Chains A and B, each alone.
Chain A
Amino acid sequence: MSMRSPIGRVLGLGAAKEGVSHWWAQRVTSVALVLLGLWFVSALLRMPTFSHEFVVAWIAVPLNSVLLLLLIGTSVYHSQLGVQVVVEDYVTHHGLKIVTMLLITFAHVAVAALASFAVLRIAFGGAG
Chain B
Amino acid sequence: MALSILHRVMGCALSVGLLLFTYWLVAAATGKAEYETARAFFGHALVRVLLIGFSFAFFYHLLNGVRHLTWDTGHGLERKAARLSGWVAFLGALATTALFWSFIFLRSGGAA
Contacts and interface: CB of A to CB of B under 8 A. Distances in A.
Interface of A: 27, 30-31, 33-34, 37-38, 41, 44-45, 48-50, 52, 55-56, 59, 68, 75-76, 79, 82-83, 86, 111, 114-115, 117-119, 121-122, 126-128
Contacts, number: 84
Contacts of B18: 75-76, 79, 111, 115
B6 interface: no
Interface residues of B, number: 32
Residue from A33, A50, A68, A127 with most neighbouring chain B CB atoms (10 Å): A50
Contacts of B69: 27, 30-31
B104 interface: yes
Given A45-B104, A127-B30, A37 B22 contact: no
B62 interface: yes
Contact of B29 (A30, A37, A41, A121): A121
